[in-house]
Amino acid sequence: MNVLIIEDDKVLSLLLSKMVERLNYRVVGIYAKGSDAITKVQELDPDLVLMDIMLEDDIDGIEATKEFQKTNTTSKVIFITGNSDSYNRERANSTDHIDYLVKPISLDDLKNTIEKI
């Protein structure tokens, strides 16, 4: 499985990358901007996108997901965020996503969620 990581925290993106590799999946890219998320999903067509909500530019993870899902219906999305508020959860529900995980997450959290796919 090819996994794209969209996360603006460099330490967390490295940790997620190590988790993905430990689960024997391949990281195809790590990006920190919503605009990059949109273009890289189209270019790389990953099986899975681990998507943070708050990103470095003015396009958050939910908006980026809505945008790329207009043309890419095969890449699955798992939101991994520090935002557990109902506003962002409701916004996330307007996308086709697998799960909404609140940081910090464990390897088992990620494994169990990926197994839902």
For the chain, the domains span 2-114
- 48's CB contacts (< 8 A; 6+ apart) are 1, 2, 3, 4, 25, 75, 76, 77, 78, 114, 117
pLDDT in tens, 51-80: 999 999 999 999 999 999 999 999 999 999
- 13's CB contacts (< 8 A; 6+ apart) are 5, 7, 30, 32
Q: What is the pLDDT of residue 30?
A: 98
Q: What is the mean pLDDT of the chain?
A: 97
- Whether pTM exceeds 0.95: yes
Length reported for the chain: 117
Question: What architecture does CATH give domain 2-114?
Answer: 3-Layer(aba) Sandwich (3.40)
Q: What is the pLDDT of residue 27?
A: 98
| Percentage of residues of the chain with pLDDT beyond 90 | 97
Half-sphere exposure (Cβ direction) of 30: Cα atoms closer than 13 Å: 15
